[in-house]
Structure 1
Amino acid sequence: MKNILLFSFILGVIFPSEINAQRKKSKDKNQEVIATPQKKKSPSYSDFVTKNTTSDKGLFTVHENKEAFLYEIPKSYFGKEMLLVTRIKELPSGLGGGYVNAGSKTNTQVVVWEHYKNKMLLKVKSYNAIANDSLPIYKSVKANNLEPIIYAFDIKTQNNDSTAVLIDVTSFFSSDVKAISALPASYRSRYKVRRLDPSRSFINSIKSYPENIEVIQNFTYEADEPPSNAAAGTITMSINQSMILLPEKPMMPRIYDKRVGYFSIENIDYSSEALKSDEKRYIRRWRLEPKDEAAYNRGELVEPKKQIVYYLDPATPEKLRKYIKQGVDDWQKVFETAGFKNAIVAKMPPTAEEDPEFSMEDIRYSSIRYVASTTRNAVGPSVSDPRSGEIIESDIIWYHNHLRSYRNRYLLETGAANPSARTLDTPDEEIGEMMRMVIAHEVGHALGLPHNMAASFAYPVDSLRSASFTQKMGIAATIMDYARYNYVAQPEDKNVRYIRQMGPYDHYAINWGYRKIPNVTTPEEEVKTLDKWISDKAGNPIYRFGGQSFDPSAQTEGIGNDQIKASTYGIKNLKIVAKNLPKWTSDKTNNYEDLSELFDELLGVWSRYAGHVAGNIGGVYEFNKKPVETGVVYEYVSKAKQQESLQWLLKNVFETQNWLLDKNILANINESGYTTNMLNLQTRQLNGLLNESRLKRMLDASVIQTDFYPVEDLFKDLRNGIFSEANYTSNVDLFRRNLQKAFIEKMGDLMNDKNLQNTDIPSIVRGELDTMKIQLSIAKSRFINKISKYHYADCLEKINKILDPK
């Protein structure tokens, strides 16, 4: 019996289909039914979107099933260009060294959703290289600029009417995807980040709006050296991902012109008929279009179709809100010059009752964030469409401690002439006015305007001492200069303006960038009108744009058109402030903290004034022009001006500045370091005078200009000035001994600088050192004190080692 059963089992294994077929006979004995394998059922929409699913309709419908998130992407959006912006929403203290904050964006990229077989690809689209898609070369541009794939998503199913596909984005937004990370490689290296901890990382929320989707991620990274809370060994941050649909029809761009300052976008256009690709550059600006174009063209003031609105951070202290609002609203008058009224405004955000969906992270809204940070700064970044330069959104950042910087500078730079600045408790209205102007400056950046450091050079120095002039014109031609305070005004000058304000250049630049030009359809058609607007102002320094580091007329923090005169006035005021600093600080507070802080900053102010004068030496003015305009673009500072500047530096920097050595201050703020601090300040100017780029410019000057300051004369004048005691029977004080050694050391550096070996510099240095040997050998034999003799002997030994290292 067992053998029979075993035989039957073996037959069943070997011939299963035959046995099954025999068992499935129909009632009709003449018909045999054979069973076929069942196909796996395709998942349907209802498998993913159930009665328990939370759905949020908007750009895409977002579905949430417990911890899973799905995008329902309409097929009509396949290939549509969208802007993906990664921002930090919340962060640990100290991340990035203090200049990264809540609201900082870390990446902006154009993306498209592309259907490929059974997947949806999220691809980055670049506008660095472009071509007209009707031209054959377009194929080459595409082939040589392959768009990277950020992520590939499996298509789960389609919706019921097959107009959209469903993908699961949970893994994408809960993983450490480098393309959308808020923690760049430099931070990962600095903080020794090992990995993202998935157990402590998750999607906080995904919300869909009519034009955008906002994702908030909470991520925790394992890190060996985090910026704060070191014992935890982690970096936890909240990240906001904004994806917004770009306009179907890009704004018509405006061609960039370096004669008017604007931030810009660039691309290389291979559609050109020229013998090379065209580099195209367009300005960055908001899309302002008049509601009533006919009235606008008649010259009437017209409101824009869409107003520029900035929402104030609810965290902003109440007493400061009005000043921030004023800083934004000040641009309304400027936009009227371009034909728009009520073009820009600041508002408090809606309450939760008024708009429960409102979020400062929503990319549809621009904001002014108030950041609780010890950093002293403010910034005005923006997000723009790389196809046209249209600014989509911006978030101005104000750091809490920034006003302390302005209070300190106000006291130091204006206290000699301005009684209300001689206090640590600056009047609220004056602090408010400073804040208002800082916000106006940052709004200018957010409108597309970069710094224009040439604007402060437009005004004569003595005009800055005039009440009527400064009250009307301010202290620089634009708010976009770093001309914060009027440090030129003297104690006898009355009713002058001390704080910067909007200027005529602001009206000029906004009109040039924003005024709508009628009857044009291409950017090229605008150029003739734009050129005329510039030529109408040509030659007037008020409307000049500049900011090169080699140009002494475009220096940071300077004011007035004569650096020597302005810095002389500035130092004269600083001497008064230094003498009174204890009375205005420690005598009032009964501690030395503010005195120490302010004296340290006073040294920095003095150094800046010196740097403005030093900029003349080897300086080159830049006057941006087109060939049809008269004059050259680059013009060297005259020999006389350079020589005068050096003599000023020898007196006001390289001679020992005894007024900065007040024992009533030094003996109460530090136990030591006075000589080192002074040497550092002096060598900063010395090294700046003798840096490679400046010396090379001076060598080049002899090629194109007869009125130039020879490099060999610079070295000779410096040697005679810094070693002036060697020409007389004079002892050398401690500070001068240090400076003279530093000068010799710098000469040695220049002698061995590889970048200068094939220039005249090593030859000039060698000649100067030979001369110095003779000069110091004679000086050492004179009737001077012992330390001066030791010093000269040491200097000679240092020179010999430079000239003969062996």
Structure 2
Amino acid sequence: MLKPYKALSLLLLTALIQTSCSTSRSSANTNQAVTATQGAEKPKPTSKNGIKNYADVITKEAVSDKGVFTVHKVADKYYYEIPDSLLQRDFLWITRFASLPSGLGNGYINAGSSVNEQMVVWQKFENKLLLKTKSYNSIAADSLPINLSVLANNYQPTIYAFDIAALSNDSSAYVIDVTKFFLSDIKTFSGLSADMRRNYKVTKLDDSRSFINSVKSFPLNIEVKQDFTYDATEPPSNATTGSISLLMNQSMVLLPKVPMQARINDYRVGYFNIRQIDYGSEALKADEKSYIRRWRLEPKDVEAYKRGELVEPIKPIVYYLDPATPDKLRPYIKAGVEQWQKAFETAGFKNAIIAKDPPSPEEDPDFSPEDVRYSVIRYVASTTRNAVGPSVSDPRSGEIIESDIIWYHNHLRSYRNRYLLETGAANPGARTLNTPMDDLGEMMLEVITHEVGHALGLPHNMKASSAYPTDSLRSGNFTQEYGIAATIMDYARYNYVAQPGDKNIRFIRQLGPYDHYAINWGYRYLPDAKSPEDEVPVLSAWIKEKTGNPIYQFGSGSGGYDPDSQTEGIGNDVVKASNYGLKNLKLVAPKLYGWTAAQTNDYDDLDELYGELLGVWSRYIGHVVTNIGGVHENRLKPDQKGYIYTPVTAKEEAASLDWLLKNAFSSPEWLHQSEISRNIHHANHVESVRNLQVRHLDNLLSSARMARLMENEVNKVNYNALDMVKQLQRGIWSEIYSGAQIDIYRRNLQKAYLDRMDYLLNKEESKPTRYNSTTVEISQSDIRSILRGELANLQKQLRAAQRNYSGDLSRYHIDDVLVRIDNILNPNKN
């Protein structure tokens, strides 16, 4: 059956032949016809099924931009001219925030943050073009009969249906009007989630204040910016306007016609990954498959590569610097990118990753950071303190197509502050607000290396910071060679373990041995493997070679139960490391005024740094809390010896709680520096300490932690939830056994202890809770039995202790808490 436009062409051709024959037979008749029509209005071309002539739609006034699709702007309308050859081709559609209001998403969203990624295809149906989603989550080989069922049971929705406005002059492309589409509040492309719409009470998109900012077409992608304003009763900022304005970026990227050969993910090595459900599996169920995300690197000379020679890739990974990047920072950023070259050499490639200055208009007039062919390190003028390394990957194979590293201008300030607080005791170069440029440059270099690592496919590996013995971090020779953690992908930013007098110490993180191992595992080219499954024996053998070596272990840090896999920690002994860190912090605190306000004659920096000092103290405490009810995770497969999960020993748990009672829950007199507290706030010190201590007390007395401690009973670990509560309660209320006065810090903490008891006994819902990957049914567990029994014991001890206190604050405090305990134990008494 002929397509409509081809049938129309054939009809016109037939008419032309008939007219030609008629003319040759009778020129007289023709002359009469011409004479009769002179001066009359020529008939206008009529549309067929709504399809107009190309020139009537794309007029002479059109401004056209050629790329993967040609984009036309005619007056206030935008048109896509879509080649017939690109129908049914796979595109990746990425929705991002280009600009957003302060506080959106509680501040956890930045400009450049991705909202949604989905694969789409363009399809023709009658006189319409359909934009449809396409999923690779469920697959089966085309040759298998079950593929018919996969397609039938995973029918993908149509996002939008466009009328075909015109055909190109050669009928090889379709013209559609996309104006209404990009001016509509389409949920799948929106920056406002359902939760945001509910929380901010968004009513509608205001058409009068919404418009298309720009549409740009490049050889492999189209970028659209939408300026949208919504009516909102409770916006996150600028509340008096009753509005939320967003600048959204819609990217549509053409994916390779032939996907790259995927590499099967292994949870023992850290890689971002894509997941698919394969219904063509021979297993008795659908087989879930996971493939790592990585760039396509193939050697120019395969034979030389096989011989073990370093070979350049056919297409290296290239990052361009943003033209807005300050000149003094460019060398550090380039070095941060190219530091990965050594790791790629481990994988057999030389010059695999390169950093370049942006080309001048004369060198490349078409260069644009928005062109998907260019990966760019963007330098953003923003007060946000962050850097991110997102990437765009092919959902069919995991191939990384493009990546933009985002560096926010104020980010180095955070690193300056942490450098001063965490290393200032042992590192004279850190004792200033004017950190030397070489040190700042080194920090920036390593941050860029970390973010590029994400863009290469590597997630955080929080376990790597526990690979080194804690005391080795006090060795100059060790830290200069191995750094302070086994990978740059951990949050191990500074060496806070090193003590005053330690020599030649490296204080700033660096690339480590795990990085070489992970890049080799993910990127080494295996020329003899014809399928992802063919690679598995080799890849598994590389992992088994490293079994038992902590340097090559991976742990995401999620779950909150593994003391070896924590953010911001270093060393293999969290108690020892936190002890060293706290000793340093106690040396820094009294010096902070002299290093800041005394030099600047201003209190702003002192105020900021003191607040961050409390945060550093809190991190050291949190690391030790994780030891209690902690479980070491060692990612293994059945052909490796050992257990995946091993509880922390009873001795370590008891020692950790003892450390907390001395260093977290005692009265922190060292924190009260009069020069600081009496110059930065009128009355906030006690409340700041209370808030921090209560946070860790509540964490210690979480239902999830207690559930893991109760599990110790079946794991034959001689320290359970009752042991922990007994030890904690005696430590929190130690004054009533000694008769000592109870100071303000301790009175606050003791009341907080009772509040937590009240919550767990009477207020937390009695249903299975899942917190930090531990599930517990509170009402049917021992949690309430333990707490009720120990609280009753405390009540007796407090009554006995009353006689030791007269009419002072300590006595009033004890009288008050006795009433509180009675109300907790008898909530329905009144």
The two structures have a TM-score, normalised by structure 2, of 0.89
Q: How far did residue 111 of structure 1 move?
A: 0.7
Within the candidate set 347, 367, 371, 1:358 is matched to 367
Say whether 1:280 aligns with 2:289: yes
Q: Secondary structure at the match of 2:249?
A: strand
Is it true that 1:654 corresponds to 2:632 in the alignment?
Answer: no
Q: Is 1:259–2:263 an aligned residue pair?
A: no
Q: Describe the superposition over 1:246-300 as per-residue Cα deviations: whole angstroms up to 9, x where unpaired.
A: 1111111111111101111112111122221111111111111111111111111
Counterpart for residue 34 of structure 1: none
Partner of 1:320: 329
For residues 146 and 490 of structure 1, do their structure 2 counterparts lie closer, same or farther at Cα, with a shift above 3 Å needed?
A: same
AA aligned opposite 1:579? P
Q: Which moved more, 1:371-380 or 1:455-464?
A: 371-380
Which SS does the other structure have where 1:654 is aligned?
Answer: coil
Q: 1:690 aligns with which of 697, 701, 709?
A: 701
2:755 corresponding residue in structure 1: 745
SS of the residue 1:342 aligns to: coil
Question: What CA distance in whole angstroms lies between the structure 2 residues aligned with 1:793 and 1:92?
Answer: 50
**Superposed displacement of residue 540, structure 1:** 0.6
Among candidates 668, 671, 691, match of residue 679 of structure 2: 668
Q: Structure 1 residue 505 and structure 2 residue 527: aligned?
A: no
SS at match of 1:781: helix
The code of the aligned residue for 1:496 comes to I
The structure-2 alpha-carbon separation of the partners of 1:802 and 1:93, relative to structure 1 and needing over 3 Å to count, comes to closer
Match of 2:478 in 1: 469
Give the corresponding residue for 1:584: 595
SS in 2 for 1:583: helix
Q: Is the aligned partner of 1:565 residue 2:576? A: yes
Q: Specify the alignment match of 1:617 in structure 2.
A: 628
Question: Residue 601 and residue 207 in structure 1: after superposition, are their counterparts in 2 closer, same or farther (change >3 A)?
Answer: closer
Partner of 2:729: 719
Alignment CA distance shift 1:230-1:782 (3 Å): closer
Q: CA deviation at 1:473?
A: 0.5
Amino acid aligned to 1:312: L
8 A contact 1:103–1:369 mirrored in 2: no
Query: Which amino acid is 2:277 matched to?
Result: I
Query: 1: CA distance between counterparts of 2:125 and 2:309?
Result: 52
One-letter identity of the residue aligned with 1:337: T
| 2:769 corresponding residue in structure 1 | none
Q: Judging changes above 3 Å, is the alpha-carbon distance between structure 1 residues 207 and 763 closer, same or farther for their aligned structure 2 residues?
A: closer
Counterpart check, 1:645 vs 2:656: yes
Of residues 390, 400, 403, the one that matches 1:381 is 390
- Whether the 8 Å CA contact 1:92–1:228 is kept in 2: the answer is yes
Q: Deviations over 1:679-720 (max 9, x none)?
A: 1121111111110111101111221x2233111111111111
Q: Displacement of 1:796 after TM fit?
A: 1.7
* Structure 1 residue 784: Cα displacement: 5.5
Q: Displacement of 1:369 after TM fit?
A: 1.7
Pair 91,695 (structure 1): closer, same or farther in 2 beyond 3 Å: closer
Query: 2:44 and 2:451 mapped to 1: Cα distance?
Result: 67
Does the Cα contact within 8 Å between 1:99 and 1:375 map onto a contact in 2?
no
Deviation for aligned residue 1:775: 1.2
Partner SS for 2:274: strand
Specify whether residues 589 and 624 from structure 1 end up closer, same or farther in structure 2 by C-alpha distance, changes over 3 A only.
same
Tell me the distance in 2 between the aligned counterparts of 1:560 and 1:534: 23
Deviates more, 1:100-109 or 1:769-778: 100-109
* CA offsets 1:540-593 (integer angstroms, 9 cap, x no match): 100010124210011111110111111111111111001111111111112222
Choose 43-52 or 750-759, whichever is displaced more: 43-52
- Measure how far apart 1:423 and its partner are: 0.6
Question: Which residue of the partner structure matches residue 20 of structure 1?
Answer: none
One-letter code of the match for 2:755? E
- How far is the alpha carbon of 1:175 from its aligned partner? 3.0
Distance 1:734 1:94, change over 3 A: closer
C-alpha deviation, 1:229, in angstroms: 5.4
* 643-652 or 190-199, which deviates more: 190-199
Q: 1:800: Cα distance to partner?
A: 1.4
Equivalent runs, 1:450-469 vs 2, <5 Å: 450-469=459-478
Matched-pair identity in %: 61
Q: Aligned pairs, how many?
A: 770
In the TM superposition, residue 196 of structure 1 has moved relative to its aligned partner by 3.5
Question: Equivalents in 2 of 1:573, 1:393: separation in Å?
Answer: 43
Aligned 8 A contact 1:474 1:501 in 2: yes
Structure 2: how far apart are the matches of 1:619 and 1:89? Answer: 41
Asked whether the equivalents of residues 805 and 811 of structure 2 are also in contact (C-alpha less than 8 Å), the reply is: no
Tell me if the contact between 2:45 and 2:53 (Cα under 8 Å) persists in the aligned partners: no
Larger displacement relative to structure 2 (307-316 or 179-188): 179-188
Amino acid aligned to 1:288: L
Instruction: Return the alpha-carbon distance in structure 2 between the equivalents of residues 776 and 232 of structure 1.
Output: 56
Aligned equivalents of 2:756, 2:104: Cα separation in 1: 37
* 810, 815, 824: which one aligns with 1:793: 815
- Cα distance change, pair 223–793 in 1 and its aligned pair in 2 (3 A): closer
| CA distance 1:39–1:747, shift in 2 (3 Å) | closer
Q: CA deviation at 1:337?
A: 0.7
2:716 corresponds to 1:706: yes
CA-atom RMSD in angstroms: 2.2
Letter in 2 for 1:407: R
Q: Is the 8 A contact 1:242 1:362 kept in 2?
A: no
2:354 to 345, 360, 383: 345
- For residues 66 and 471 of structure 1, do their structure 2 counterparts lie closer, same or farther at Cα, with a shift above 3 Å needed? same
Q: 1:22 maps to which residue?
A: none
Tell me the equivalent position of 1:731. Answer: 741
Alpha-carbon distance, 1:305 to partner: 1.3
2:95 corresponds in structure 1 to 86
In the TM superposition, what is the alpha-carbon distance from 1:94 to its structure 2 partner? 5.1
SS in structure 2 opposite 1:438? helix
Please list the CA deviations of residues 608-649 of structure 1 after superposition, one character each: whole Å capped at 9, or x if unmatched: 111111111000000000101011000000000001111111
How far apart are 1:191 and its partner, in Å?
Answer: 4.5
Give, in whole Å, the separation in 1 of the partners of 2:290 and 2:435.
Answer: 45
User: What is the deviation of 1:197?
Assistant: 3.8
Write out per-residue CA displacement over residues 741-792 of structure 1, whole angstroms, 9 at most, x where no aligned residue. Answer: 2112212222223241111111111211121122111111125563222222
Does structure 2 retain, via aligned residues, the 8 Å contact 1:769–1:799? yes
Equivalent position of 1:778 in the other structure:
800
Distance 1:762 1:41 in 2: 78
Q: Match of 2:339, SS?
A: helix
Max Rg structure: 1
Equivalents in 2 of 1:89, 1:746: separation in Å? 43
Tell me how far 1:82 sits from its aligned partner. 0.9
Asked whether the equivalents of residues 218 and 371 of structure 2 are also in contact (C-alpha less than 8 Å), the reply is no
2:84 corresponds in structure 1 to 75
The secondary structure found in structure 2 opposite 1:797 is helix
Instruction: Give the 3-state SS of the residue equivalent to 2:581 in structure 1.
Output: helix
Contact 1:730–1:784 (CA<8 Å) still a contact in 2?
A: no
Per-residue displacement from partner, 1:186-236 (whole Å, max 9, x unpaired)?
444455444434444443443333322233334444445555555655544
CA distance in 2, matches of 1:261, 1:121: 39
Amino acid across the alignment from 1:758: Q
User: 1:328-379: CA deviations, max 9, x gaps?
Assistant: 1111111111111111122222233333332222222222222222222111
User: Which of 448, 455, 458 is the matching residue for 1:449?
Assistant: 458
Please say if residues 226 and 235 of structure 1, whose CA atoms lie closer than 8 Å, have aligned partners that are also in contact: yes
| AA of the residue aligned to 1:261 | G
The whole-number CA distance in structure 1 between the counterparts of 2:66 and 2:551 is 52
Q: Which runs of 5 or more residues in structure 2 are unaligned?
A: 1-28, 30-42, 767-776
Q: Distance in 2 between matches of 1:581 and 1:239?
A: 43
After the TM superposition, which of the residue ranges 160-169 and 424-433 deviates more from structure 2? 160-169
Q: State the AA in 2 paired with 1:253.
A: A
Task: For residues 382-440 of structure 1, give each alpha carbon's deviation from its aligned partner in whole angstroms, at most 9, with x where no partner exists.
Answer: 11111111111112221222111111111110000111111111111101111111111
Q: Which residue of 2 aligns with 1:65?
A: 74
1:438 and 2:447 aligned: yes
Paired residues of 2:561 and 2:630 also in contact (CA < 8 A):
yes
Deviations 1:157-206 (A, max 9, x none): 33344332222222222333333234444444455444434444443443
